[in-house]
Amino acid sequence: MDYDATRALHSSLPAFQPLIPVQILPFLALVLLAATFGLAFYSSTLPKSTFPAKELAVASTASILGGFGVVALFCTAGVYV
């Protein structure tokens, strides 16, 4: 790779755009974590059955929302992961 060519390329290309805008990350963190907490609580109140299909479904949604929420929380706190 040529140094001067790369430098010209770098200055001419558009800037980086994050997937999720950084300004809404704190609100996103709050919303997602609240939803995670709610769904986790709900899954704990579900009746016990032999095959816990509903429990697992609720738990998996809660964990996915929680995953994104935790990453957003980290970024809000200043630990840019």
Partner 1 sequence: MQSCLRNGTQLGRRRAVLATTAIPSSSRSITINPLGWVREKLAPGMAEKQSSKEVESAKQLARQEGTGSVFESLPQAVVQKTKEAKVAKEKPTSHKYSTANFKISHRKLNMLANQITGKPIDYAILQMQFSEKRASSRIMNMLATAKDHAIRYKKLDPSRLASFENTAIVRTVELGGSVVHVTTTYAVRALENNAKVYTVALSKHDRELTSHVEVRLKGQDKALQFKESADRDYSLFDVTLPKTLSANKTLNIVFENIQTHATKPWPEIAEQGGDQALKYTTDLFVLSPYSTLVQRTKVRSLSPRIISYTEPKGVEVFTGDAAATKSGANVVYGPYKDVPVTTSDFIGQYQQPVTVHYHHDQPVLEVRKLRRAVEVSHWGANINTQDDITLHNAGPKLKGHFSRLEHQMQAYMKQSAPHVLPALTLGLPPGIRDVYYYDTIGNVSTSKLRVAPLPPKGAQRSQFSILELRPRYPLLGGWNYSFTLGWDAPLESAVSYDKKTGIYTLAVPIMTPIPGAVVNEEELQIILPEGATDVNFVTPFPGLSAVQDTHVTFLDTVGRPSITLQYKDLTIKHAQDIYVTYKVSTLAHIKKALAVATALFLLFALGGIARRVDLSISPKKKVQ
Instruction: Provide, rounded to whole angstroms, the least separation between the CB of residue 38 and partner 1.
Output: 14
Contacts with partner 1, 6-45, as mask; x by CB under 8 A: xx-xxxxxxxxxxxx-x--x----------x---x--xx-
Using CB under 8 A as the binding rule, whether residue 62 contacts partner 1 is answered as yes
Q: Cα-atom radius of gyration of the chain, to the nearest Å?
A: 20
Using CB under 8 A as the binding rule, whether residue 75 contacts partner 1 is answered as yes
Tell me, rounded to whole angstroms, the distance of Cα 60 from its chain centroid. Answer: 14
- Residue 10 tokens read as 């770098």
Angle at the Cα of 72 (from 66 to 75), degrees rounded to 5? 145
Instruction: Provide, rounded to whole angstroms, the least separation between the CB of residue 13 and partner 1.
Output: 4
